[in-house]
Structure 1
Amino acid sequence: SPGRAPRPPRAPARLPRPVRASEPFRAKMLSVPGLGEGAAGRRSRARTEHGRTTGARRPEGALTKLHLAATVQAAAPHQRARGRSGRGLVVRRDDLRQATREGREGNLVLFVVDASGSMAARQRMGAVKGAVLSLLLDAYQRRDKVGLVTFRGKEAEVALPPTSSVDAAAARLESLPTGGRTPLAAGLLKAHDVLRVERMRDPSRRPLLVVVTDGRATGGPDPVALAARAGRLHAAEGTASVVVDCETGVVRLGLAAQLARELGGGAVTLHELRADSIAGLVKDVTAAGRAA
């Protein structure tokens, strides 16, 4: 109206500052069950050129490390038929045995982090980021590749494609925004896409899926059933997994443990993730889930 001073422009809404991670701690080791053949590292059991001798096999291609006892054992029953007359053992090429050795490999540790409103309380999210940061530091020491998928609102995104740069993952984690609904199924499906590409790119590097959530799923029709179906998709492909259960409070729904069962893996609380906690943690996380 005439004579009235114009209103000053409204200041843009300030986005909440990202929550800082709590102090990192020494995390318990999580490993992929079975025996891999990936790049040298310090996480899961693997067949390697170096390490302790665990057995013998027929060589495939050139013989690189002779298993003497197994070679002698293979040749001994045939000495009379081969006309042995002196002390020396008659050994033929078919008798040669390659020593098999076992060491450790590095894995692809793919984090799927729930950044929704149900996780957004400042104290709680700080603890969650601290736990993931602790696992990232552990991955660095064990020569793993790492990747980061986050989900909040209506969708999931690849915050960091698989990389050997743990520093980059930690930086993305620090700036992670939070709030909104919980599209858990979208997060799991996005992780499935990432792992599918990585299996084609580096088939010998076995993945470990680490889902950090309270297990709640909201948004869209029947979100809990969709999340369970997405979990079973990972289980069907034999992906090793562990759910870090972030549920707090007196009344607990047990949704994270239920998700772990769908994934065919195990579940641990934030407290159990600490290496100095009293509670034990089975190293082979998939085997732990199937035994439950």
Structure 2
Amino acid sequence: AGDPYRTQLFTVKGTGHGAQGRRSPAETTGGHTIRARRPQGALGRLHLTATLQAAAPHQAARGRSGRALVVHKDDFREQVRQGRESNLVLFVVDASGSMAARQRMTTVKGAVLSLLMDAYQRRDKIGMITFRGAGAELALPPTSSVEVGAARLESLPTGGRTPLAAGLLRAHEVLRVERLRDPSRRPLLVVVTDGRATGGRDALARSHRAAALFAAQGTASVVLDCESGPVRLGLARTLAGLLGGTAVGLDELRAEGVASLVRESRSDNRSANRATTAMRKAA
């Protein structure tokens, strides 16, 4: 694998309720207060302002006579705090012959290793499915050990046909089981492929039907587009659309690449503003 680097941050949309971590927004015991609500079970952190606001309209009916407010149990409100949660990041890695072509696999492994390191830093659980030849294999059941994931990635064999549908269906089954084990941990599916599908009848159509299963469930997904060369079919981008997710090219994955684009854009804007000012003065 190539040397790891800092990647973009990919998150699960919405607000979760999973274990504290450093990836996606979630209601947690830490973080900042975003709103108040009626207690759900035992009272958590008291939201004093909301509690007083709930009690204030009823003071006359409750016979208030002194300076103190008469507060009933139904008036209590608790704080809802938003922090970050950890997720289950499930990698589905294309190890077929088309990926091994043009010596791409070193770059691809470096990208996946970088995402594994990012998952470790954000306290995620990780899992890995590989597909090649005749089917898909659960190379790494969901775990918190990024070292095992890196070792499996390093020794990943490549070659053969591309059973993309088998890889996606295996991922769907893994996520189904994990939802039963840990319902509060939301998944993030990361598919690493060039989007090609071979092997069997209607291989591409079957992979598209498999992708639609994730879209129907609202599973957050990212497709790492590994297609290269002067002629590109855009199959990975099509797959991302069917998953309802995001497609990111290998050259777009680096966080510093995104920062560089922002800096260049700002620099271009400043240059344009200076040129406009100079033209106005000359006029």
Same fold (TM over 0.5): yes
1:268 equivalent to 2:248? Answer: yes
Q: Relative to structure 1, is the Cα distance of residues 111 and 60 closer, same or farther in structure 2, using a 3 angstrom cutoff?
A: same
| 1:43 CA displacement | 0.4
Residue number in structure 2 paired with 1:56: 36
1:215 equivalent to 2:186? Answer: no
More helix by share: 2
Identity %: 72
1:247 equivalent to 2:227? Answer: yes
CA distance in 1, matches of 2:135, 2:112: 21
Residue number in structure 2 paired with 1:26: 6
CA distance in 1, matches of 2:5, 2:250: 11
| 1:64 CA displacement | 1.7
CA distance in 1, matches of 2:223, 2:33: 34
Q: Relative to structure 1, is the Cα distance of residues 124 and 279 closer, same or farther in structure 2, using a 3 angstrom cutoff?
A: farther
AA aligned opposite 1:222: D
1:150 equivalent to 2:130? Answer: yes
| 1:277 CA displacement | 0.9
Residue number in structure 1 paired with 2:274: none
Residue number in structure 2 paired with 1:178: 158
CA distance in 2, matches of 1:85, 1:279: 62
Query: Number of aligned pairs?
Result: 261
1:72 equivalent to 2:52? Answer: yes
Q: Which of 11, 15, 18 lines up with 1:38 in the alignment?
A: 18
CA distance in 2, matches of 1:29, 1:60: 32
| 1:62 CA displacement | 1.0
CA distance in 2, matches of 1:34, 1:202: 18
Q: Relative to structure 1, is the Cα distance of residues 33 and 252 closer, same or farther in structure 2, using a 3 angstrom cutoff?
A: same
Q: CA RMSD in A?
A: 1.3
| 1:37 CA displacement | 0.6
Matches within 5 A, 1:154-169: 154-169=134-149
| 1:121 CA displacement | 2.7
Using the size of structure 1 for normalisation, the TM-score is: 0.88
Using the size of structure 2 for normalisation, the TM-score is: 0.90
1:197 equivalent to 2:197? Answer: no
Q: Which of 97, 112, 115 lines up with 2:92 in the alignment?
A: 112
Residues 272 and 280, structure 1, Cα contact 8 Å, conserved in 2: no
AA aligned opposite 1:115: A
